[in-house]
Structure 1
Amino acid sequence: MSTIAERIRELREKKGLSQSEVAKLLGMNRTTYVHYETGYSKPTKKLKDLCALFNVSADYILGNDTNASNTQIENKPKDLIKLLEKEEYTLNGVLVTPEDKEKLKRIIEAAFWDAKEKNKRKK
């Protein structure tokens, strides 16, 4: 099995997600995703989405970086993952550009973690 396949499987298992859940979050069928984990095919078109889902660099998935601790693997709640992995975002009925979509995703995630931190302090 290739390093790419092993790392993708390992990252999915660390997140506690099934293959079907990951496939759904990535907007693909399960069989296609399973091919990534078995090494039958490589995630060229979905590499960026995998990186965002697992919060790792492309270099880590591709085997160019061996230190997973530098990739900031976090256990994001499934609801946050779904929100961050929406296919399209619109503002005032206008589809946002891919660049703006990435900015929105970062803002949403930062707001989520800020709120979580504030809730910890209240307890």
Structure 2
Amino acid sequence: MSTFSERLREERKRLGLSQTEFAKAVGVHLNTQSRYEKGHTEPDMAYLEAISQAGVDVVYVLSGMARGFSEEEAKRPEIRRLIGGGDLWQGEFDCDFFLEVLGITKGDWEDVVRRNLRRWDSEQPSGKAIPGVVASSFSSWGPEIARASRVIGGLIESASSLDSALLSKVLEGLDEALSVRGETMPAAKKAQAVAMLYRSFKASGKVDPAMIEEAVKLALG
């Protein structure tokens, strides 16, 4: 059976990262990452949490447990039904609605499920391996769903294009207008006003004090 260090190196390569890139992504020194992969040093919990966020299957790295069913195994009727959901969620969980909200295709979802379902040894006398799901704080479900989701991808893209300088000016302008009036604004209304003003100023990149004052008047009624 492979060792922790070998599986860690295997997962890093699966993600297509060099040691230098991986060390930077998880916040450790290159020498530290090298020692982990050589088995010279044991990592702490903070490191395991960091590599999980980076997309590493920590359950596999720690235990060596098979990461999921192969494409060939997934064709077996009983496993196919498990992956597809069958009638398991009827009356309890609307999988199709969940996928629609997150913008994940059925095919992508089944691929995520196939990779995350794990084998576990039955306690039956036969000891036959049967399908099961490992409950773990280091599950790769979250990162894989995020990567498959068009909605989450769009949110990340939007966040990366956010003009933080403009947003700061909008907030400062709004606070100044409220201060002059000696007024305060409920958090929910303030958030709505900031969002509206930010969208209005985004095209020009310039803040209009008169528009901020008008927004304050409208919000305060």
Q: Could you say which TM-score interval applies, normalised by the shorter chain?
A: 0.5 to 0.7
Change (3 A) 1:111 1:68: closer
Does residue 22 of structure 1 match 2:58? Answer: no
Does residue 67 of structure 1 match 2:103? Answer: no
Shift of 1:48: 1.0
Equivalent position SS for 1:20? helix
Would you identify which runs of 4 or more consecutive aligned residues in structure 1 move more than 3 Å? Answer: 109-112, 115-118
Unaligned 5+ runs, structure 1: 73-105, 119-123
Instruction: Provide the TM-score with structure 1 as the length reference.
Output: 0.53
Q: Which has the higher contact order (CA 8 A, sep 6+)?
A: 1
Change (3 A) 1:67 1:43: same
Shift of 1:46: 0.3
1:50 equivalent in structure 2? 51
Q: Which moved more, 1:8-17 or 1:109-118?
A: 109-118
Equivalent position SS for 1:54? coil
Q: Distance in 2 between matches of 1:21 and 1:117?
A: 22
2:5 equivalent in structure 1? 5
Change (3 A) 1:68 1:34: same
Q: Distance in 2 between matches of 1:41 and 1:117?
A: 36
AA at the equivalent of 1:13: K
Q: Distance in 1 between matches of 2:61 and 2:22?
A: 15
Shift of 1:54: 2.5
Shift of 1:4: 1.1
Q: Distance in 2 between matches of 1:111 and 1:62?
A: 23
Instruction: Provide the TM-score with structure 2 as the length reference.
Output: 0.31
Tell whether the 8 Å contact from 1:20 to 1:30 is kept in structure 2 after alignment: yes
Higher Rg of the two aligned structures: 2
Change (3 A) 1:19 1:59: same
Shift of 1:39: 0.4
Q: Distance in 2 between matches of 1:60 and 1:3?
A: 11
Change (3 A) 1:111 1:17: closer
Decide which of 110, 113, 118 is 2:146's aligned counterpart.
110
Q: Distance in 2 between matches of 1:116 and 1:11?
A: 24
Change (3 A) 1:49 1:71: farther
Change (3 A) 1:42 1:112: same
Q: Deviations over 1:60-115 (max 9, x none)?
A: 2212x51112448xxxxxxxxxxxxxxxxxxxxxxxxxxxxxxxxx69x7387224
Tell whether the 8 Å contact from 2:8 to 2:37 is kept in structure 1 after alignment: yes
Listed as ranges, the matches of 1:85-96 within 5 Å are none
Identity %: 30
